[in-house]
């Protein structure tokens, strides 16, 4: 279900017995953030599937009277991301000073709910003085969208909230699938300038668009409303292959750029990976997994709502250099303490080297706090917190 008002009305009318999952909203959110943060799509899928670590809600009496900051460092095999107060309200990544009262539960990522075992506050880390590093001012970003649909509109609407002033979005769409008048009418606020090219689908037109400027990302979307799902995915994969050929060719003015693609049918995902896409959002898989998680535990619905909502806490993959020096081994518990100083709940890390063959293989969700990790340039820390602009 995609309409916010309808979803809310159904939940209210059934007194919460029916939970409406706004899957397109989640897909747009993940696609938008994946276009800015390498590895985010893989992190989200890892969190939603039932194969590894998942989100659980658990009562831990030993935490009563302690703070959320202490809770972050109280579990060796679980990563705390929030609290559920005695009235049942979920709070993702509350302030570290938040006191935990009787009846409050923790929201944590773990391999299983029986792994959420209180192991005592790591005082060595909880009391450690952490110097918070400045993250620096964001530069304008330039994105190229190839293909367009209502999903594209939702994705850029999400991006408009976070892209630095001066950023640009250039849309290339085939005129037989998208009315040029629709593209001309697009407006996404004053932060970003939107331009478009209505094309026939010729490779020369693709070269002209891709060589126009140096882009930070290329996002390929399926023509959802104009053609069948199978045709849309086939065209997306063809475009992926064409873009990779352009990146490899010399003298055409097209610089190698990070590629993000949306695949509508999960059965095509393995085939699409052959095209060497950096990040891939598999729409039907993401929606199905989210519905399955909420079906298994309805109490997670508000947690996922908050996690995928434009406001409040979200999952991010931030440059490791913001938290720790590269080339020097560090205990994961210390990264959690450093993240706490940044006002974030740390849940894992992503290595660039591990993700080169397959995006998901570089993701390490919920490692033991005692795990030693040697950061390298290009690695990222996975956190739940406010999105950085």
Predicted confidence (pLDDT) per residue in 255-284, tens digit? 888 888 888 887 777 776 666 556 667 777
Spatial neighbors of 215 by CB under 8 A, at least 6 apart, are 142, 143, 144, 170, 255, 257
Domains 54-123 and 312-385 alike in fold: yes
Do residues 135 and 323 make contact, with C-beta atoms less than 8 angstroms apart?
Answer: no
The tens-digit pLDDT sequence of the chain (389 residues) is 455 555 555 455 555 555 555 567 778 877 887 777 777 877 888 888 888 899 999 999 999 999 999 999 999 999 999 999 999 999 999 999 999 999 999 999 999 999 999 999 988 877 776 766 666 667 899 999 999 998 899 899 988 888 888 999 999 999 999 999 999 999 888 888 999 999 998 888 888 888 888 898 899 999 988 899 899 989 988 888 888 888 888 887 888 888 888 888 877 777 766 665 566 677 777 778 888 888 888 888 888 888 877 677 889 899 999 999 999 999 999 999 999 999 999 999 999 887 666 656 688 999 999 999 999 999 999 999 987 65
Q: Where are the beta strands (DSSP E) in 85-166?
A: 90-92, 105-110, 142-146
Q: Check: pTM over 0.75? Answer yes or no.
A: yes
CB 222, CB 235: distance < 8 Å: yes
Beta strand extents in 246-306 (DSSP E only) = 258-263, 279-282
Contacts of 285 (CB under 8 A, 6+ apart): 45, 266, 269
First to last CA, the chain: 29
Neighbours of 202 (CB within 10 A): 10
Q: How many residues does the chain have?
A: 389
Q: What is the pLDDT of residue 364?
A: 92
Buried-exposed string 55-94: b where 16+ CB fall within 10 A, e elsewhere: bbbbebeebeebbbbbbbbbbbbbbbbbbbeeeeebbbbb
Q: Please report, for the chain, the start and end positions of each structural domain, with discontinuous segments joined by +.
A: 21-49+138-290, 54-123, 312-385
Q: Cα separation of 6 and 306, whole Å?
A: 18
Half-sphere exposure (Cβ direction) of 96: Cα atoms closer than 13 Å: 18
Q: CATH 3.40.50.720: does it fit domain 21-49+138-290?
A: yes
Q: Which residue from 93, 72, 73 is spatially nearest to 82, judged by alpha carbons?
A: 93
Name the token pair of 336: 């959690």
- What class is the 312-385 domain? alpha beta
Q: Is 250 helix (H, G, I), strand (E, B) or coil?
A: coil
Distances (CA, A) of 184 to 195, 196, 221: 8, 7, 18
pLDDT in tens, 189-222: 888 899 999 999 888 888 888 888 889 889 999 9
- Topology adopted by domain 54-123: Alpha-Beta Plaits (3.30.70)
DSSP 319: E
């Amino acid at each position: 279900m995609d309409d916010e008002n309808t979803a809310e009305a159904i939940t209210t009318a059934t007194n919460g017995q029916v939970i409406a999952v706004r899957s397109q909203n989640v897909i747009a959110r993940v696609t938008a953030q994946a276009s800015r943060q390498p590895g985010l799509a893989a992190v989200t899928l890892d969190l939603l599937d039932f194969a590894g670590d998942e989100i659980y809600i658990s009562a831990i009496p030993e935490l009563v009277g302690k703070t959320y900051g202490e809770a972050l460092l109280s579990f060796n095999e679980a990563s705390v991301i929030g609290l559920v107060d005695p009235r049942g309200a979920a709070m993702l990544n509350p302030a570290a000073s938040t006191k935990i009262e009787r009846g409050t539960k923790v929201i944590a990522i773990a391999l299983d709910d029986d792994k959420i075992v209180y192991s005592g506050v790591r005082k060595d880390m909880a009391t450690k003085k952490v110097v918070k590093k400045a993250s620096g001012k964001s530069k304008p970003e330039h994105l190229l969208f190839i293909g367009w649909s209502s999903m594209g509109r939702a994705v850029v609407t999400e991006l408009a909230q976070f892209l630095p002033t001066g950023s640009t979005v250039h849309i290339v769409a085939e005129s037989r699938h998208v009315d040029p008048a629709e593209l001309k009418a697009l407006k996404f606020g004053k932060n970003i300038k939107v331009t478009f090219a209505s094309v026939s689908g010729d490779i020369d037109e693709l070269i002209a668009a891709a060589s126009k400027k140096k882009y930070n990302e290329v996002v390929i979307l399926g023509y959802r409303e104009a053609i069948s799902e199978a045709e849309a995915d086939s065209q997306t994969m063809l475009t992926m292959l064409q873009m990779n050929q352009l990146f490899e060719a010399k003298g055409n003015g097209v610089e190698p750029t990070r590629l993000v693609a949306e695949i509508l049918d999960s059965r095509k995902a393995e085939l699409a990976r052959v095209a060497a896409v950096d990040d891939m959002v598999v729409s039907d898989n993401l929606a199905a997994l989210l519905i399955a998680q909420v079906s298994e535990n309805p109490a997670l619905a508000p947690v996922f709502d908050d996690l995928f909502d434009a406001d409040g806490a979200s999952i991010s993959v931030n440059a490791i250099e913001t938290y720790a020096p590269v080339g020097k081994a560090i205990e994961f518990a210390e990264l959690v303490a450093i993240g706490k100083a940044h006002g974030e709940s740390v849940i894992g890390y992503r290595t660039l080297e591990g993700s080169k063959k397959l995006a998901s293989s570089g993701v390490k969700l919920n490692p033991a706090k005692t795990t030693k990790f040697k950061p390298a340039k290009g690695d990222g820390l996975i956190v739940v917190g406010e999105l950085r602009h």
